[in-house]
Amino acid sequence: MSRTLVLVRHGQSEWNLKNLFTGWRDPDLTEKGVEEARAGGRRLKEAGLHFDVAFTSALSRAQRTLKLVLEEVGQTGLTTYADAALNERDYGDLSGLNKDDARAKWGEEQVHVWRRSYDVPPPGGESLRDTGARVWPYYIHRIQPEVLRGGTVIVAAHGNSLRALVMALEGLSGEEIVARELATGVPIVYRLNADSTVASKDVLEG
Catalytically active residues, by annotation: 10, 88
Q: How far is CA 46 from CA 49, 74, 99, 128, in A?
A: 8, 12, 37, 33
Return d(Cα 40, Cα 26) in angstroms, integer: 22
d(CA 187, CA 154) in angstroms, rounded, equals: 9
Phi/psi of residue 192, each to 5°? -100, 150
* N-term to C-term CA, the chain: 27
* Chain centre to alpha carbon of residue 30: 17
**Cα gap 150→119, rounded to integer Å:** 34
List CB contacts of 99: < 8 A, sequence separation 6 or more.
Answer: 19, 20, 21, 111
